[in-house]
Structure 1
Amino acid sequence: MKVLVTGGSGFIASWIRRDLLAHGHSVLVMDHQDRRQNLAPGEEFFLGDVRDATAVTEAAAHVDGIIHLAAVLGTQETISNPRPSAETNILGSLNVFEAAAQYNLATVYAGVGNHSFRLIGTGCYTITKSAAEDLARMYNAYREGGRITIVRPVNAYGPGQSVARPYGTSKVRKIAPAFVCRALTGTDIEVYGDGTQISDCVYVEDVARAFVTALEHTVQHGPTEKPVEVGPLTSVTVNDIARLVAEYAAKVTGREPVGVTHLPMRPGEVPNAVVSSDTSTLAQIGMTAADFVPLDEGIRRTVDYYATEWLPGYLAA
């Protein structure tokens, strides 16, 4: 099967592409930035933006299925500038769903783990991603050719995730690299809020396997009845994650574990929030969270990656 991966140069996409290739599929990578130099054997590149309906339809004409990841990310970032996320996450998804229906293509859409936040107020990222979920349900219910499975991962983490300022160039702060980079440089980890909020994390390799398995299921059986929620069996707090990172980074660096500094929550973040998943929904595609990489092992792999692949270059700069 040849699979179109939109947003194909991103963090999760890179792992999904690897899993697709490992399971005998070929990949058409679609991205609005030309990164064809990173292609592996079995991959082709399509330069295009999901906001361009013509480009999406042309890409869809050459594949057997779609994994739709392209999105504008960020919580407080999309509050201060909501238009790009609305254009990409809603209209871009509409273009993907329309092209998929035209060619009767099985499609997997990347939903958002904190979808429930839109009922209590949050950033445009969650609002727009949830709106696209509603569109997916409409296509499945009323449009001929509508074959869309929604996969909702919680916070994906692991090797290769982009690093935000001041340690990297990314404009969006992600929990794992933000914590790991500070701990490896001997700087206290910054936690927004009191850290008691639940923010479940799932290792990116497991996320990738869920997306690919969901697509294979959709090809054979049609879309799942409920969104597939990808996360761990046991929930943890942000403080728990910070402590794990600090402890393992200390083993790597040979220093004492760094401390934790608490900062005011940012716009769009919800005090006492719970970001978790109903892992029973994985059974719809024959998976179980019991097989996922445990948090402590995933943190170990992630810290080791940044210690060897990121830290030397940062210290030399």
Structure 2
Amino acid sequence: MNILVTGGCGFIGSNFIRQRLAEAGSPLRRLVNLDALTYAGNPANLSGPDADPRYHFAHGSIADEKLISHLLEEHEVDAVINFAAESHVDRSIDSPEPFIQTNVVGTLRLLNAARRHWNALPASRRAGFRFLHVSTDEVYGTLVPGDPAFTEETPCAPNSPYSASKAASDHLVRAYHHTYGLPVLTTNCSNNYGPYHFPEKLIPLMILNALDGKPLPVYGDGMQIRDWLYVEDHAAAIWLVLQKGRTGETYNIGGLNEQPNINIVKSICALLDRKCPRPGGKSYAEQITHVADRPGHDRRYAIDCEKIRRELGWQPRETFATGLEKTVDWYLANRAWAGEITAKKYNRQRLGVAG
């Protein structure tokens, strides 16, 4: 199997690539990683695995249809996995247009190239070709306490420019299956966390700010609830859907770990109190600061992932407690990785609030 991964130098994509290249007995023959290396794309995320002879890196955008067509043909690609996306809600509120260009126009051009490639394949390979689109639970909108969790049948009701752009891309993927027959799969995941997470997101931001003695900014009352999914569990689910999922279907992937943001921050503080105590013995929780809420902030996300469990036998391996401890341990051991990003690749004035 030859795979084209887009956005493979980002958080989820790089964890997926690491997992695939480390997997014993994998059917993988070639893995091509196309990444534009924007602010969140970091080649250091793949330091080590990038020496694997099966790995090939291509620098470019999913909006470059000519380049994608060339890669698909040159590497005889059997499957496309689209991780590439602008994904930060605050950034989408400040400037929506880059989200439309990457998440909507880019996905459209990727689909165009994949469709041409698929149509040109011999019948024996056409039957096995897949296009897997990685999306988010944010396309479903928001829930209130007591509402049932999002299912694959929940109507889209996006509330931010980011989630609207992802919903649009989901619709395009669906349309290319129903109009042209392209064998597609879509996954909608809950909030990911784990190693190599870009420092603007809630969990790494809180870990790094705590260690640097900075405020731990929490939006509003901190009672915004998210379902937290350990990134390695997510990567394994995507691989399973690619191999065994029914074409044209959507699969929700969740961590079965609903937590309010304020609980996340307090849990991080408790772990750091134990693993890296502050001088004088004070708790990191003293650094928690409540700030004005984000405009249009969704109150609750929750994923019903019964479909992927029932059809494919998947369920998360990590509890929130085990996954968060692994994550804190990773950041404690890799502070140089995070320091390089915040110093060289990110405007530190923007490294503020997340969640």
TM-score bracket, normalised by the shorter chain, equals: 0.7 to 0.9
- CA distance in 2 between counterparts of 1:85 and 1:269 reads 18
Q: Which deviations, in whole Å up to 9, do the C-alpha atoms of 1:132-175 show, x marking residues without a partner? A: 1011111121213x111111111111111122xxxxxxxxx211
Distance 2:87 2:257 in 1: 26
Q: How far 1:73 moved relative to its partner? A: 2.0
Distance 2:234 2:337 in 1: 28
Match of 1:77 in 2: 91
CA 102–121 in structure 1, closer or farther in 2 if over 3 Å, else same: closer
Q: CA deviation at 1:284?
A: 5.8
Residue 290 of structure 2 corresponds to which residue in structure 1? 262
- Structure 2 vs 1, CA of residues 121 and 50 (structure 1 numbering), >3 Å: closer, same or farther? closer
The offset of 1:312, in angstroms, is 9.7
Alignment of 1:132-281 (within 5 A): 132-144=169-181, 146-163=182-199, 173-218=200-245, 221-224=246-249, 227-255=250-278, 256-259=282-285, 260-270=288-298, 273-281=299-307
- Who is 2:121 aligned against? none
2: distance between equivalents of 1:187 and 1:275? 28
Contact residue 75 and residue 267 of structure 1 kept, 8 A = no
Distance 2:336 2:221 in 1: 28
Letter aligned with residue 138 of structure 2: N
Alpha-carbon spacing, 1:314–1:68, altered in 2? closer, same or farther (3 Å): closer
Letter in 2 for 1:154: S
Sort the Cα spacing of 1:189 and 1:287 in 2 relative to 1 into closer, same or farther, 3 A.
farther
**Residue 113 of structure 1 corresponds to which residue in structure 2?**
137
SS at match of 2:51: coil
1:123 matched to 2:160? The reply is: yes
Equivalent pair of 2:190/2:303 in contact (CA under 8 Å): yes
- Give 1:20 shift: 2.1
Q: How much has 1:313 moved relative to structure 2?
A: 8.0
Q: Which runs of 5+ in 1 are unaligned?
A: 164-172
How far apart, CA to CA, are the structure 1 residues paired with 2:138 and 2:313? 21
Residues 206-243 of structure 1 show CA distances to partners (whole Å, capped at 9, x for unaligned) of 1111111111124xx5343xx21221224111122112
Aligned length, in residue pairs = 299
Segment drifting more, 116-125 vs 64-73: 116-125
Q: Distance in 1 between matches of 2:92 and 2:178?
A: 30
Q: What CA distance in whole angstroms lies between the structure 1 residues aligned with 2:337 and 2:56?
A: 32
Q: Please state whether the residue corresponding to 1:27 is helix, strand or coil.
A: strand
The reply on whether 1:282 has 2:308 as its aligned counterpart is yes
The Cα shift of 1:80 comes to: 2.1
Q: 1:275 aligns to what SS in structure 2?
A: coil
Partner Cα distance (1:136, 1:114) in 2: 17
* Offset at residue 186 of structure 1 (A): 4.0
Please tell me whether residue 97 in structure 1 is matched to residue 90 in structure 2: no
Change (3 A) 1:266 1:35: same
CA distance in 2, matches of 1:215, 1:45: 21
Equivalents in 2 of 1:91, 1:187: separation in Å? 38
* Matches of 1:212 and 1:124, distance apart in 2: 28
The Cα of 1:188 is off from its aligned counterpart by 4.3
| 1:11 paired to 2:20 | no
SS at match of 1:261: strand
2:237 is paired with a residue whose SS is helix
TM-score (norm 1): 0.86
Q: CA deviation at 1:123?
A: 2.4
Correspondence for 2:51: 40
Letter in 2 for 1:246: C
CA displacement at 1:32 relative to structure 2: 1.8
Q: Which runs of structure 1 show a deviation greater than 4 angstroms over 4 or more consecutive aligned residues? A: 34-38, 118-121, 311-315
Residue 62 (structure 2) pairs with residue 50 (structure 1): yes
Deviation digits for residues 224-278 of structure 1, max 9, x if unmatched?
Answer: 3xx21221224111122112111001111123432232111123423xx111211
Quick one: distance in 2 between partners of 1:292 and 1:204?
A: 11
Preserved CA contact (<8 Å) 1:75 1:122 = no
Alignment-derived partner of residue 27 in structure 1: 31
In percent, how many aligned pairs have the same letter? 26
| SS of the residue 1:109 aligns to | strand
